[in-house]
Amino acid sequence: MHLETPIEYLKGVGPARARLLQEELGVQTFWDLLHHFPFRYVDRSEFQTIRGIVDENTLVQLRVRLDSVKEIPMKRGSRLEAVVSDDTGSLRLVWFKGVRYIAPKLVNGRNYLLFGKPNRFKGRWSMNHPEFQVIDPGTELKAGSIVPVYPSTEKLGAKGLDSKGLTRLMKELLKAVLPHLDEDLPSQVLEDEKLMGRMMAFKEIHFPKDLMEMKKAKYRLKFEELFFLQLSLLETKVLRIEKSPGIMFEHVGDRFNEFYANHLPFDLTNAQKRVMKEIRKDLGSGKQMNRLLQGDVGSGKTIIALLTMLIGIDNGCQAAIMAPTEILATQHHRSMEELLHGTGVRCALLTGSTPKAQRKTLH
């Protein structure tokens, strides 16, 4: 078994469920399922009391005693109603489905562990379709854990792959892959950034001991993703610089000097002068320039772009500003025309709606 093993070979999946997982979630391999993370968690690490229930929207976990249970006929089938209590109060339970399956498991006087979402009904607390399990006499009951809730779909749920079904698959998956999950970050990075190990991170993101460990796991996995993204960008940059020659703009010519001396609408700030100096150095290096110029609205980014374009034009090239929308392209064109008025530099606008004949001329 390895991370690229097709998901159908995971215990509990098979060909039919594998097709459904691929169609509904895009899960094809062990690796894909490993990265199908919970979208939230349910905290079952604490017990509440019936008197302590205050919110209809909060899931609660209770230790109760069954006081009574009865099956009530309805027009279609029947419903099951029970009353449970603890030392602080009582609670009504209702089941509308699975009555024949549930009824034999409910015995008066027996203790149960309940988990569900309470609601107010006729002035008292009730709970519909709670999860429950028998508490045997003499059993030391411990609180549960942080339970993952996985994204699923109606089609998956119909085939037993709702969040609970996916949780069962995830347990099988972790047993199969965790022993083979090697660390991929340098030990120095782990130490410097105080990061959780990779194997532990995947274990804790799916089945955390507590919310603090879940947050550490999430941070580790996010760090890893960004770390390798940054490495990829740096690799691309190095390869571009080493293997992709750029056009060398060897001199600053008349158009740049004329504009700078006679048409510049304001004096450049020290920051703008520094950036312009860096750009001129890049353009004369013979390497491709890939530079992000960042600044607030009105900080002079357009002027720097125009000065850079004039260097390209002085070296026998054309230059273009690309914009994501026609509105923005039109605004840039208008401002460029105003700035270049009287310089002899031609400026044209090319957009998706430019007529074909005009487009051919511009090209």
Report phi then psi at 62, rounded to 5. Answer: -130, 145
d(CA 223, CA 208): 18
Predicted confidence (pLDDT) per residue in 17-27, tens digit: 999 999 999 99
C-beta of residue 29 within 8 angstroms of C-beta of residue 3 = yes
Report phi then psi at 107, rounded to 5. Answer: -125, 130
* Cβ count near 79 (within 10 Å): 15
More confident residue, 43 or 258: 258
Question: What token pair was written down for 302?
Answer: 């357009």
What is the average pLDDT score of the chain?
Answer: 90
Question: What token pair was written down for 332?
Answer: 């840039």
Confidence of residue 123 (pLDDT cuts 50, 70, 90): confident
Where does the chain have alpha helices with state H?
14-25, 30-34, 99-102, 154-158, 163-177, 187-193, 198-206, 211-243, 254-262, 270-283, 301-314, 326-340, 356-362
Kindly report whether the global pTM for this prediction surpasses the value 0.85. no
Q: DSSP letter string over 15-63?
A: HHHHHHHHHHH---BHHHHHT---SEEEE-SS-B-STT---TTS-EEEE
Predicted confidence (pLDDT) per residue in 211-238, tens digit: 899 999 999 999 999 999 999 999 988 8
Among 227, 226, 228, 222, which residue's Cα sits nearest to residue 35? Answer: 222
Res 168 pLDDT > 90: yes
Predicted confidence (pLDDT) per residue in 172-189, tens digit: 999 999 988 999 999 999
d(CA 170, CA 150): 10
C-beta of residue 69 within 8 angstroms of C-beta of residue 82 = yes
Phi-psi label, residue 344: left if phi above 0, alpha if psi -120 to 50, beta otherwise: left
What letter represents residue 103's amino acid?
A
Res 142 pLDDT > 60: no
Q: Look at 128-137, 170-179, 257-266 and tell me which has the smallest mean pLDDT.
A: 128-137
Confidence of residue 77 (pLDDT cuts 50, 70, 90): confident
